């Protein structure tokens, strides 16, 4: 009897909680350290496999546990089971209650299973004692009341005939912050705890169910309680048959109540974490997919589908008016690479806040991962979904226009935005539109924006998919060329305007396609940047160009030949840019004075202080800096004062129109004048005719680049210029 009482006393202690999650898509099992501790296993015990958990389960309980888990994994049933574990650490027998629910995908497939496990050893033994030995307990009622009074749980007997409770201890009132006398006055004996009205009805329903329970079975549920301080808490209740009458009808029900407010709060936090991004607090991919599926499912079935040559094709599913904007940040990788992930995380949090401010309360902003966000717009009835989506896209672009200051560093990001209108997708299809299709179309539109200069938005159309397939083919050709080392470097001459003498060559990349012809260089660069291949391509071109020009400078007449190389924003913004340039010069033997790095205003807009410092170090070592595409941006003049620029390159768009457009001619002459005043070299790109050459202003440091003097080639240096003259 003493052992039974001690066990019953221990059963009332508040249990600890652990959890596990099994991802069916990856086969990964994640187990918390708290659960391992409950099992008596050390952290990391599952590194050698999952057997450690299974082996700890009592042999008699393993079949039931396996069957329950199998039902969750194969039949999507909820799991609620009690089982025993023999703890390896001390050999103690422990009882656990496990509650698991499957998470289903859009087609009913099981994605993952989450389970919360609580140590209920004391309560399990107490219930067993009370259920199996109720006659003995009633015989020693006075003694048992003294013991039961020590437990923190509220224990009562519910008399079915009178529907009244008999208190077995005094712990019920403290659970909700009231005295026992106050509870008696406010609630009488109808229920010993204060309840919201709907929860009181729930308890009565569960009591009726408990009357039909087989002996030994337990009905568990939770409900809310009203605390004395006005807050709402949660109780778990376990009901079991305590006594039957002569006709085997249930006469008394054992009711054990436990405060599980903290457990419910923890579960709520876990549920929130499952649907929200930890870094930004925004909804995550799973959350936005669920919301999108709800929106798509809200559309009615139309009576007629798209119109074909002989009339309506047939009924198709329509969708509720909504719009999806997939937002990918431009230039974010450079921030991560140059300033570290802490700065990158801070930028993402700021972007998340700005995106949230740019939309309405009815819209959803979510983070898909990395630097990708998605905005789910709710379109009011009768509104133009496309116009609304484009308006919001412009608002997002405007919200990102200002710099983001993190620990003294100013960062700038823009956004490439792909828009999908599910109503248009539905009109093109004779099947239901699903969330994955909508997100994929928005993603394709976003990548199209990336490929065409970024920092913009576009609405998805089927033509974009064809473009994506072309880019896939170019990526395959580029990967093959890098692997087989067939990337080629061509050189275009840059000559002195007055003499036509060769001064410099610009290195240009060429990648062979499957038909042996070169792929379009601009598209290759765009695909390389999109598919994270640009860094390797840049490095390959730089090394080969330096080595080739170093060799040419050994030939008579070309000792002062210069090399001009474009560097991408990715290369300049990545840590170690200065060292990579120096390594290429050192490895090839080319002097620093022979090399000019071409940069664009777009690159400089996103340049960090570290990148600018690297450019200044290179200039200090003798490397020239050319500002390419001068005049096509908004702030080129400012960079002439902040960076040690040595050369201005005038974009071919001015050259091609200077004979017919007085404004272009005036701007070109003004730019040459700026170069002259600042004593900078000035390269005019795109000169193709003698008339264009003759129209250029006179300037002793004016240089010409264009088909008039030579197309890009990889021949002998003496054949690069149409009328070759060695540099003097």
Tens of pLDDT, residue by residue over 573-599, are 777 889 999 999 999 999 999 999 998
| pLDDT > 60? residue 333 | yes
Whether 2-122 and 152-266 share one fold: the answer is: yes
277-304+316-460 domain in CATH 3.30.70.270?
yes
For the chain, what percentages of helix, strand and coil (3-state, to nearest 5) are there? 45, 25, 30
Neighbours of 381 (CB within 10 A): 6
Under the banding of pLDDT at 50, 70 and 90, the label for residue 685 is very high
For residue 694 the two structure tokens come to 């003759």
Long-range contacts of 35-43 (CB under 8 A, 24+ apart): 35/117, 38/94, 38/96, 38/117, 38/119, 39/85, 39/87, 39/88, 39/94, 40/85, 40/87, 40/88, 40/89, 40/90, 40/92, 40/94, 41/88, 41/89
pLDDT beyond 70 at 317: no
DSSP 369-420: ETTEEEEEEEPPTTS-HHHHHHHHHHHHHHHTSS-EEETTEEE--EEEEEEE
- The stretch 457-472 carries a mean pLDDT of 79
Predicted confidence at residue 329, as pLDDT, reads 92
Res 253 pLDDT > 50 = yes
Nearest to 277 by CA among 356, 357, 362: 356
Total-model pTM: 0.47
3-state secondary structure 157-215: EEECCCCEEEECCCCHHHHCCCCHHHHHHHHCCCCCCCCCHHHHHHHHHHHHHHCCCCC
The percentage of residues in the chain with a pLDDT greater than 70, rounded to a whole number, is: 83
Instruction: Decide if domain 479-719 falls under CATH 2.40.30.10.
Output: no
Q: Is the pLDDT of residue 513 over 70?
A: yes
Q: What is the pLDDT of residue 632?
A: 67
Angle at 536 between CA 531 and CA 539, to 5 degrees: 145
Locate all alpha helices (DSSP H) within 281-380, ordered by sequence: 285-297, 332-339, 341-358
Has residue 391 got a pLDDT over 60?
yes
**CA dist., res. 440 & res. 2, Å (int):** 67
What's the whole-number mean pLDDT along residues 140-160?
68
**pLDDT confidence of residue 314:** 39
Rounded to the nearest integer, the mean pLDDT of the chain is 81
What's the whole-number mean pLDDT along residues 546-557? 94
Q: Which two tokens stand for residue 170?
A: 């005094």
Which SS3 state, helix, strand or coil, does residue 255 take? Answer: strand
Task: Pick the more confident residue, 333 or 589.
Answer: 589
Determine which of 261-265, 373-377, 652-656 has the lowest per-residue pLDDT on average.
Answer: 261-265
CA distance 684 to 657: 13
Give the helix/strand (H/E) hosting 325.
strand 322-330
Distances (CA, A) of 571 to 96, 566, 575, 591: 56, 10, 8, 21
What residues does each domain of the chain span?
2-122, 152-266, 277-304+316-460, 479-719
Here the tokens at position 92 are: 């103690």
pLDDT at res. 564: 97
Specify the CATH class of 152-266 in words: alpha beta
Q: Predicted confidence band at 284 (pLDDT cuts at 50, 70, 90)?
A: confident
Q: What is the structure's pLDDT at 194?
A: 59
- Domain 2-122 maps to which CATH number in 3.30.450.20, 3.40.50.1820, 3.30.390.50, 3.40.50.2300? 3.30.450.20
């Amino acid at each position: 009897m003493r052992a039974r009482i001690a066990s019953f006393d221990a059963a009332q202690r508040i249990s600890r909680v652990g959890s596990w999650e099994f991802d069916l898509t990856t086969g990964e099992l994640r187990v918390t350290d708290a659960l391992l501790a409950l099992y008596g296993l050390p952290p990391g015990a599952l590194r050698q496999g999952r057997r450690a958990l299974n082996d700890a389960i009592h042999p008699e309980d393993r079949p039931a546990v396996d069957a329950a888990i199998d039902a969750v994994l194969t039949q999507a049933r909820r799991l609620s089971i009690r089982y025993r574990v023999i703890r390896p650490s001390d050999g103690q027998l422990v009882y656990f209650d496990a509650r698991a629910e499957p998470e289903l995908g859009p087609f009913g497939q099981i994605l993952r299973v989450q389970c919360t496990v609580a140590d209920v050893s004391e309560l399990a033994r107490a219930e067993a004692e009370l259920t199996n030995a109720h006659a003995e307990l009633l015989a020693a009622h006075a003694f048992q009341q003294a013991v039961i009074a020590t437990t923190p749980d509220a224990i009562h007997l519910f008399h079915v005939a009178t529907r009244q409770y008999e208190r077995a201890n005094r712990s019920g009132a403290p659970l909700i912050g009231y005295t026992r006398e106050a509870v008696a006055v406010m609630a009488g004996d109808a229920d010993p705890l204060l309840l919201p009205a709907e929860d009181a009805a729930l308890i009565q329903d569960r009591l009726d169910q408990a009357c039909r329970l087989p002996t030994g079975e337990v009905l568990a549920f939770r409900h809310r309680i009203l605390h004395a301080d006005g807050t709402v808490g949660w109780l778990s209740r376990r009901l079991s048959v305590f006594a039957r009458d002569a006709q085997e009808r249930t006469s008394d029900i054992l009711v054990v109540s436990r405060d599980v407010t903290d457990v419910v709060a923890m579960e709520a936090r876990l549920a929130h974490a499952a649907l929200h991004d930890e870094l930004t607090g925004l909804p995550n991919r799973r959350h936005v997919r669920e919301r999108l599926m709800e929106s798509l499912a809200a559309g009615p079935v139309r009576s007629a589908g798209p119109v074909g040559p002989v009339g309506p094709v047939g009924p198709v599913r329509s969708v509720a008016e909504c719009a999806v904007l997939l937002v990918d940040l431009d230039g974010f990788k450079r921030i991560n690479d140059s300033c570290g992930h802490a700065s990158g995380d801070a930028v993402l949090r700021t972007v998340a806040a700005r995106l949230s401010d740019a939309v309405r309360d009815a819209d959803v902003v979510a983070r898909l991962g990395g630097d990708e966000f998605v905005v789910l717009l709710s379109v009011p009835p009768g509104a133009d979904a496309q116009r609304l989506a484009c308006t919001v896209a412009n608002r997002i672009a405007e919200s990102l226009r200002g710099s983001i200051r993190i620990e003294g560093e100013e960062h700038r990001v823009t956004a490439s935005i792909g828009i999908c209108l599910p109503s248009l997708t539905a009109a093109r299809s004779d099947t239901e539109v699903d969330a994955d299709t909508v997100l994929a179309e928005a993603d394709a539109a976003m990548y199209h924006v990336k490929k065409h200069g970024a920092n913009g938005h576009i609405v998805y159309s089927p033509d974009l998919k064809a473009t994506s397939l072309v880019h896939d083919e170019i990526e395959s050709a580029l990967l093959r060329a890098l692997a087989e080392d067939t990337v080629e470097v061509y050189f275009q001459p840059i000559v002195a305007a007055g003499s036509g003498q060769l001064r410099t060559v610009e290195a240009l990349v060429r990648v062979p396609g499957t038909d042996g012809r070169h792929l379009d260089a601009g598209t290759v660069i765009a695909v390389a940047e999109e598919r994270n291949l640009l860094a390797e391509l840049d490095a390959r071109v730089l090394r080969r160009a330096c080595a080739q020009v170093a060799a040419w400078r050994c030939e008579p007449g070309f000792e002062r030949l210069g090399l001009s190389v474009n560097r991408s924003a990715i290369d300049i913004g990545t840590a170690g840019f200065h060292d990579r340039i120096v390594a290429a010069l050192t490895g090839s033997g080319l002097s620093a004075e022979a090399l000019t790095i071409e940069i664009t205003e777009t690159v400089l807009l996103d340049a960090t202080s570290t990148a600018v410092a690297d450019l200044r170090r290179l200039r200090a070592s003798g490397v020239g800096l050319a500002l390419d595409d001068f005049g096509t941006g908004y702030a080129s003049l400012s960079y002439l004062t902040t960076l040690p620029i040595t050369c201005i390159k005038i974009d071919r768009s001015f050259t091609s129109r200077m004979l017919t457009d007085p404004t272009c001619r005036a701007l070109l002459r003004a730019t040459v004048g700026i170069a002259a005043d600042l004593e900078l070299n000035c390269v005019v790109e795109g000169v193709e005719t003698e008339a264009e050459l003759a129209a250029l202003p006179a300037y002793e440091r004016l240089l010409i680049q264009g088909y008039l003097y030579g197309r890009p080639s990889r021949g002998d240096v003496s054949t690069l210029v149409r009328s070759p003259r060695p540099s003097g």
